[in-house]
Amino acid sequence: MSIQQLLEAMTAEMGRNPETMVLLSQVNEKAVFEHVANKKFAMSGEHIPQKYKILMSLTAAAAMGSEKCINTYAQAALKAGISKEEIVEALILTRFVKASSVFSSSTDALRMLVNKE
């Protein structure tokens, strides 16, 4: 498969031009092929249903604040038959978990404040 064919396949899968991969291909085509191979491997496990893999990918992207990835996985979710309500519920859960990490990351500081005379 040529890089052009790979990018066309990505466009068909995503429903839009994969701008980041297009740009990367102009600098290092092998990196694009490696990215696709890594995605295929990551999604190939047999124990987690595809629906959950997509939602997990979406929520990881949301937690990292990666807007392009959030949009990509939201589109993939819709294409896979995941409802808008399920997507939003997953994002709400992600917001809670990420916000909760503020407290857990502050344990040492809270301990110091409590123990301070």
Q: How is domain 47-117 classified at the architecture level of CATH?
A: Up-down Bundle (1.20)
pLDDT of residue 61: 96
pLDDT of residue 13: 86
Cα–Cα distance for residue pair 114/117, rounded to 1 Å: 8
Start-end ranges of CATH 1.20.1290.10 in the chain? 47-117
pLDDT of residue 113: 95
Burial group, residue 92, by CB count within 10 angstroms (0-12, 13-18, 19+): exposed
State the 10-residue block means of pLDDT for the chain, 117 residues long.
94 88 96 95 95 97 94 94 98 95 91 90
Sign of the dihedral defined by the CA atoms of residues 58, 60, 65, 69, in that order: negative
pLDDT of residue 117: 72
